[in-house]
């Protein structure tokens, strides 16, 4: 009588199917077993230290995150190896970062000599060691140095800087991850790999060891390139999946959904209580789980409109959206309602939500 079934949860609710989540985590580790790659899964997707610990327990070497604020959440939750796969340049933040490096193994990316100087001074002041990856651009055209000469100059500067350890290269090809054409992804990875191989060889020919090459992602984790140059795979979305990644035909299943209630039903149309404030539609409107014939035609702030030509849905019925972008959708919510076989097992805080600083 105390069991809470899924449909009793108030909506909109962000649901996680624990069996599917755990299976996705297992599948990724099984895939990497025996290869030179180790998983360093991305926190930006789930922002839950609990799920991060599940990933570590399954074999991940550490956790990747996008922001210092996320690293603080992870360190506070006892994660002992954290990479901030981003540029941290603000003096205040560099101070926070160097201080945090006293309680966890912390690595960060750089693409600029000023940041290296500041990180070194901050690490000296805090008495900490900060591990540093030089970010090289492998086609995203976002952050990262463009040439092997720049990469070498930064690697040298890090090697010579007190308080810092040069750990290798960050080479994230996020632009390839969402391309549904596998051949195009393979070609892109081969190009990115060529850039990395060249930079790594050039740096090492100058007497500096490049221990790690960190990057990759859910859309390309199974395309490590001919030379398997990446040592760390930063996949994030594989734990949840979404309609955008589903197009790629990967082995992972959707564990994340947004449960909604039909609050208005009339012939041909159903209106839900779940809009764009609970479901990111950046890569298109959500799909509806178990109703492949139905489509969400629009999301306004707090409503969804479903075209329901055959009147499959009923007033007060609960349905589930599958979002087009799991990472941005999770960031809208405060809790996951974790279920197993349709029974609520855990209400899990999304502790990293909103930690964009």
**How would you label 85-107 residue by residue, b for 16+ Cβ within 10 Å and e otherwise?**
bbbbeeeebbebbbbbbeebbbb
Given the complex with a second copy, which of 141 and 290 has the nearer CB atom?
141
Lookup result for tokens 């589903």: 246
Q: Which of 268, 270, 244 is nearest to 323 (CA)?
A: 244
- 199, containing H or E segment: helix 182-205
CB 189 within 8 Å of CB 223: yes
Please state the φ and ψ torsions of residue 351, each to the nearest 5 degrees: -65, -25
- What are phi and psi for residue 170, nearest 5 degrees? -100, 125
Q: Kindly tell me which of 104 and 261 has the beta carbon lying closer to a second copy.
A: 261
Binding pattern for the stretch 26-65 against a second copy, x by CB under 8 A and - elsewhere: ------------------x---------------------
Picking from 73, 17, 66, the residue whose alpha carbon sits closest to that of residue 41 is 66
For residues 300 to 319, the per-residue mask of contacts with a second copy, x marking binding by CB under 8 A and - elsewhere, is: xxxx-x---------xx---
**Smallest gap from residue 174 Cβ to a second copy (A):** 7
Site string for a second copy, 219-258 (x = CB under 8 A): ----------------------------------------
Interface characters, 96-125, with a second copy (x: CB under 8 A):
---------------xx-x-----------
Q: Binding residue for a second copy (CB under 8 A) from 165, 194, 263, 344? A: 263
Query: Can you give 294-317 as a three-state secondary structure string?
Result: CEEEEECCCCEEEEECCCCCCCCC
Binding site residues, a second copy, CB under 8 A: 10-13, 44, 66-67, 86-87, 89-90, 92-93, 111-112, 114, 141-143, 146, 174, 261, 263-264, 266, 269, 271, 273-278, 281-282, 300-303, 305, 315-316, 327-328, 331-334, 354, 356-357
């Amino acid at each position: 009588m105390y069991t809470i079934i899924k449909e009793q949860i108030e909506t909109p609710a962000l649901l996680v199917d624990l069996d599917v989540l755990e299976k996705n985590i297992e599948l990724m580790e099984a895939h990497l077993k025996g290869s030179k790659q180790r998983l360093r899964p991305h926190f930006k997707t789930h922002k839950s230290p609990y799920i991060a610990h599940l990933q570590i327990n399954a074999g991940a070497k550490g956790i990747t995150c996008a922001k210092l604020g996320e690293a603080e959440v992870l360190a506070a939750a006892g994660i002992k190896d954290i990479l901030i796969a981003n540029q941290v340049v603000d003096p205040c933040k560099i101070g926070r970062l160097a201080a945090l490096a006293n309680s966890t193994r912390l690595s960060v990316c750089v693409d600029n000599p000023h940041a290296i100087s500041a990180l070194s001074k901050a690490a000296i002041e805090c008495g900490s060691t900060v591990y540093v990856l030089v970010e090289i651009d492998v086609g995203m055209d976002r952050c990262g140095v463009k040439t092997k000469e720049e990469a070498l100059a930064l690697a040298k500067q890090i090697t010579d800087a007190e308080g810092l350890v040069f750990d290798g290269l960050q080479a994230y090809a996020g632009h390839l991850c969402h391309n549904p054409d596998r051949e195009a992804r393979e070609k892109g990875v081969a190009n990115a790999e060529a850039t990395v191989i060249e930079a790594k060889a050039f740096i090492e020919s100058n007497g500096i060891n490049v221990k790690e090459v960190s990057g990759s992602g859910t859309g390309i984790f199974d395309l490590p390139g001919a030379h398997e140059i990446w040592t760390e795979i930063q996949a994030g979305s594989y734990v949840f999946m979404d309609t955008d990644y589903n197009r790629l035909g990967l082995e992972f299943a959707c564990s994340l959904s947004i449960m909604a209630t039909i609050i208005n039903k009339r012939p041909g149309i159903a209106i839900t209580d779940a809009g764009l404030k609970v479901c990111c539609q950046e890569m298109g409107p959500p799909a509806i789980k178990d109703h492949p014939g139905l489509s969400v035609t629009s999301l306004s702030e707090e409503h969804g409109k479903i075209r329901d030509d055959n009147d499959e849905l009923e007033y007060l019925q609960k349905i589930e959206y599958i979002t087009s972008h799991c990472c941005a959708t999770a960031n809208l919510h405060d809790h996951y309602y974790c279920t197993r076989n349709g029974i609520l097992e855990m209400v899990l805080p999304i502790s990293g939500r909103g930690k964009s600083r």
